[in-house]
């Protein structure tokens, strides 16, 4: 196959940042995706429906034809009044739970998940999806085990106690997460990133630390990579595309405490296409990228189409933002697929 035309996909997990960074990166996503679930972990987190509206307006001012699907940062400001506003909003599609300290701008996140159960109950009642960064923040737990421990300590309890609460287990990175989602009810789903199906921890650590491959959840063993890839290729509607594309300036990545996150947005669909093609599963790409996420969020499927062609393309070495730069994921590498020009 030398070309592939699919329903235009949605990115169900995206970081756009704000200001000049947002202005610079939004079109990389809009060129490939009709909609995206936009994460709320800005430096001043999106904790209310009013803040979500302001952020939505900012995104639309830079890219009017793109549809951002907004989320709320789980915080102490959530109460019944705010939950009703979220339920009635036409632009908000979930609440994102960050355990405090697990990733970028999560310092204002949740310290005790057990204390959140009354909010989970109200979310279940109002059919508001719960999006979870599923890692514990316990410093005594090895960083490679934090996803599994989160399942054992928290996610099992949440999904059992609130069986009708729609839960998205974000950017899964382990076989444990894959198995948990498969065994769970139809109200449990998961997003899968390009980095967690293309790489394992050798790509981060072997031959020297590769800061532009550093993300959270951190890349795991090859066996976990293969399990996550298998989930993406499976055709199981519980697994759908979410890039977790997260731009950071080069000097923030290449530093003594490099920021977590890879910027995959400019070449996201060619990356997914390459992995599905290499595994003889191109027919599974459209539902994974374009159907399953929309269905889980109870959204209509897009009408527009996206054309990919099997033609070599090289990932840019860097992307300029004013006088600084962002290094994209797989910078300088060659991909087998590219987006067809209009």
Does the structure show a pLDDT above 80 at 106? Answer: no
pLDDT at 1: 75
* pLDDT class of 76 with cuts at 50, 70, 90: confident
> In the block, which residue shows the tokens 């960064």?
133
Q: How far is 144 from 222, CA to CA, in rounded Å?
A: 12
Burial (CB count within 10 angstroms: exposed 0-12, middle 13-18, buried 19+), residue 127: exposed
Residue 250 CB coordination number (10 Å): 16
Could you report how far apart the first and last alpha carbons of the chain are, in Å? 20
Report in angstroms the alpha-carbon separations of 31 from 25, 38, 254, 313. 11, 16, 28, 16
Q: Look at residue 321 in the predicted model and tell me its pLDDT.
A: 86
Confidence at residue 110, expressed as pLDDT on a 0 to 100 scale = 83
Active site residue 138: no
Q: What is the mean pLDDT of residues 11-29?
A: 97
Average pLDDT across the chain, whole number:
95
Cα torsion for 173, 177, 181, 187, to the nearest 10°?
A: -80
- d(CA 342, CA 336) in angstroms, rounded, equals 19
Query: What is residue 244's predicted lDDT score, i.e. its pLDDT?
Result: 98
Question: pTM above the 0.85 mark?
Answer: yes
Q: State the Cα–Cα distance between residues 45 and 59, nearest whole angstrom.
A: 15
The CATH code of domain 9-300 reads 3.20.20.140
Would you say residue 109 has pLDDT above 80?
no
Q: Which of 33-37, 106-110, 187-191, 334-338 shows the lowest per-residue confidence on average (mean pLDDT)?
A: 106-110
| Dist. CA 98–CA 82, nearest whole Å | 18
* Least confident stretch, 28-42, 70-84, 262-276: 70-84
According to the model, what pLDDT value does residue 103 have? 67
- What was the pLDDT predicted at 168? 98
Would you put residue 171 in left (φ > 0), alpha (ψ -120 to 50) or beta? left
Beta strands 334-335 and 313-314, pairing class: antiparallel
The count of other CB atoms within 10 Å of the CB of residue 207 is 7
Task: Render pLDDT for 269-302 as a digit per residue (tens, 0 to 9).
Answer: 999 999 999 999 999 999 999 999 999 999 999 9
φ, ψ of residue 99 to 5 degrees: the values are -60, 135
Catalytic residue among 11, 176, 244, 277: 244
Token pair, residue 70, equals 């907004």
Give the integer Cα–Cα distance in Å for 241 and 293. 7
Count the alpha carbons within 13 Å of 153 in the hemisphere toward its beta carbon.
Answer: 16
């Amino acid at each position: 196959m030398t070309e592939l035309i699919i329903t235009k996909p949605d990115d169900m997990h995206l970081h756009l940042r704000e200001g000049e960074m947002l202005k610079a990166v939004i079109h990389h996503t809009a060129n490939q995706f009709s909609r995206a679930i936009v994460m709320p972990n800005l430096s001043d987190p999106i904790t209310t429906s009013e803040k979500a509206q302001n952020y939505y307006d900012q995104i639309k001012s830079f890219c009017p034809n793109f549809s951002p699907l907004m989320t709320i940062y789980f915080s102490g400001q959530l109460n019944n009044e705010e939950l009703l506003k979220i339920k009635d909003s036409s632009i908000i599609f979930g609440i994102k739970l960050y355990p405090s300290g697990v990733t970028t701008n999560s310092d204002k996140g949740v310290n005790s998940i057990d204390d959140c159960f009354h909010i989970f109950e109200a979310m279940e009642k109002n059919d508001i999806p719960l999006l979870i960064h599923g890692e514990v923040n316990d410093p005594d737990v090895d960083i490679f085990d934090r996803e599994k421990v989160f399942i054992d300590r928290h996610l099992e309890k949440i999904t059992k106690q609130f069986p009708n609460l729609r839960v998205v287990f974000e950017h899964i990175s382990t076989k444990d997460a894959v198995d948990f989602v498969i065994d769970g009810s139809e109200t449990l789903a998961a997003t899968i990133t390009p980095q967690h199906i293309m790489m394992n921890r050798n790509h981060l650590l072997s031959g020297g630390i590769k800061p532009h491959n550093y993300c959270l959840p951190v890349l795991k063993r090859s066996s976990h990579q293969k399990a996550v890839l298998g989930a993406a290729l499976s055709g199981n509607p519980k697994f759908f595309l979410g890039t977790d594309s997260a731009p950071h300036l080069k000097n923030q990545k290449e530093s003594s405490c490099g920021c977590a996150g890879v910027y995959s947005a400019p070449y996201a669909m060619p990356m997914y296409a390459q992995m599905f093609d290499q595994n003889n599963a191109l027919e599974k790409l459209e539902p994974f990228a374009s159907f399953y996420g929309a269905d889980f969020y109870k959204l209509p499927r897009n009408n527009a189409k996206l054309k990919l062609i099997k033609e070599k393309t090289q990932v840019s070495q860097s992307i300029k933002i004013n006088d600084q730069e962002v290094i994209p994921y797989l910078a300088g590498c060659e991909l087998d697929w590219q987006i067809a020009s209009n």
